[in-house]
Structure 1
Amino acid sequence: MMRKTRRTLTAAVALATASVVAATAQAHGPTRRKISESIEINAPADKVWAVVGNFKDSNWVDNVAKTEAHGDDPGKSKRTLTLKNGHTIEEEGTNYKPDRMLFGYFIDKIDVADLPVNDFSSNVTVEAEGDGRAKVEWKAAFYRGYMNNDPPPELNDENSEKAVKAWVQKSLANLKAQLEKGAS
């Protein structure tokens, strides 16, 4: 009788443990996504930095029509990017080191229809590559556009990451085209 009770108890504990593990897995929300994209530009690093590091002008960023800076310290100030559709993105500078050609920012406010993300932070760096060339690297970390469980497909992890990668790649291509056109 004791063996049967022990087996029943062991089975009950195993079933309860499995239920808790399954419920925990189902309750897991979004995970922080990270991307890193880079491009080589046929222009000197200081010329590239003059564009990338200009907190008051983001005309090279994909879909941006206008930039309005609110303050003079790019490492602490805020700016509003007006998109071509009239929507805005509110950003705050978080890390600005001209001596290292590094600019970091956090998106305070964005419509997920424009970029399906939450808690987006980013660092853009410029490095000299020699022979008058520069490498620009853009690293970003973010959560998907829907912070609860069971996101709609357009706001899930994969589509949020795909949208950010496309936006960053287009922006870097714009930067390259703008700077290399000016070098001709």
Structure 2
Amino acid sequence: MTWNFQKSLLIVTTIAALALAQHGWAHGPSRQKVTETITIDAPPAKVWAAIANFQDLSWLPGVAKTTGTGGNEPDTAKRQLTLDGGATIDESLYKYDAGEMSYSYRIDTVDVKVLPVNNYSSTITVLPADGGKSTVEWRGAFYRGYPNNDPPPELNDEAGIKAVTAIYRKGLENLKQKVEAAK
């Protein structure tokens, strides 16, 4: 091979490698995950009874009213949360297992100014714990509120994680208080 050909091949290979590397950097947001748990001094059946109705989210602080249709039927059940400030969140149930004391749902519509996430899904499960207690696990997965690169601070990954974590913690703490007070 001639020197010019080798030099040209090296330049083309370098440009191609840089182009591929840049393409990898501009992939957009990645799915974020949050898991929160709490131990409640009550048997699992009692805790499940407090959260089992998909249409009732009265235990979650900040929710002024819940309306819905379809009961606890996966792919049929819908609920609309009206928050204290008047904003709404529409959700759908896609998995329900009373025997496992667990259900999964997704957000259909929410203004990112209310909750800075997109493509949100969540599962809440009641598990037995030592001494006749229960552990409630609330897991969620979502993308940040701004789907493109360079999000504003209020719609970035950290904002989404912070908002979802706060909801889960407040909700689980309130559920614990409600169930334990009803002894």
TM-score tier after normalising by the smaller chain length: over 0.9
- Matched residue SS, 1:131: helix
* Partner Cα separation in structure 2 for residue 112 and residue 181 of structure 1: 35
**1:30-179 correspondence to structure 2 within 5 Å:** 30-76=29-75, 77-179=77-179
The runs of at least 4 consecutive aligned structure 1 residues that moved more than 3 Å come to none
Three-state SS of the structure 2 residue aligned to 1:15 is helix
Tell me, in whole angstroms, the C-alpha distance in 2 between the residues paired with 1:73 and 1:179: 21
TM-score for both structures, normalised by structure 1: 0.92
Provide the secondary structure at the position in 2 that maps to 1:75.
Answer: coil
Task: State the one-letter code of the partner of 2:165.
Answer: K
TM-score by length of 2: 0.93
* 8 Å Cα contact 1:55/1:74 also seen in 2: no
Unpaired runs of at least 5, structure 2: none
Higher mean C-alpha deviation, range 71-80 or range 57-66: 71-80
Contact in 1 for aligned 2:53/2:72 (Cα 8 Å): no
The percentage of aligned residue pairs carrying the same residue is 45
Secondary structure at the aligned position of 1:72 is classed as: coil
**Distance in 2 of aligned mates of 1:113 and 1:180:** 34
C-alpha displacement of 1:166? 1.3
Name the structure 2 match of 1:9: 9
The number of residue pairs the alignment matches comes to 182
Q: Distance between the aligned counterparts of 2:39 and 2:172, measured in 1?
A: 9
Deviation of 1:138 after TM superposition, in Å, equals 0.6
Note the alpha carbon deviations across 1:137-157, whole angstroms, 9 max, x for none.
Answer: 011111111112221111111
